Amino acid sequence: MQEKRKAAGPAAEDLKFERAILVHVVETFPETLRLEDLVRELAKPKDFAQRDGVERAVRELVTGGLLFRCEGVVLPTRTALRAYELLVEAE
């Protein structure tokens, strides 16, 4: 049972970063953000784990089709914008 708790910790932290980044990118759109901007805005400067978490989350969101990344620029996809509209703005 303890192994599941330990495994859930980092996975839960990754999801937290993914949610925060997705919301931040969508709410900032149409302003253009770079990966460096996201790291600076969402992670403590000297905390490697947080900076790495932001970069990992962006990678996962790109893989999932919710963010688009090209030459360091990070943008929400149309799918992400629509999902945000349906889930958040409807409340």
At 18, the pLDDT band (50, 70, 90 cuts) reads very high
Task: Give pLDDT, residue 11.
Answer: 82
The CATH architecture annotation of domain 2-87 reads Orthogonal Bundle (1.10)
Q: What is the CA radius of gyration of the chain?
A: 14
- Looking at residue 14, what is its pLDDT? 85
Q: What own/partner pairs with CB < 8 Å and gap ≥ 24 does 56-59 have?
A: 56/14, 56/17, 57/14, 57/17, 57/18, 57/20, 57/21, 58/21
Joined tokens for residue 10:
């980092």
Looking at the predicted structure, is the pLDDT value of residue 2 above 50? no
**Cα separation, 42 vs 60, whole angstroms:** 16
Assigned token pair, 39: 């790291």
Q: What single-letter amino acid sits at 46?
A: K
CA angle 58, 44, 18 (to 5 degrees): 25
pLDDT at position 21: 94
pLDDT tens sequence across 23-74: 999 999 999 999 999 988 888 878 888 888 889 999 999 999 999 999 989 9
Each domain of the chain, given as residue ranges in start order, spans 2-87
- Give the confidence band of 1 by pLDDT, cuts at 50, 70, 90: very low
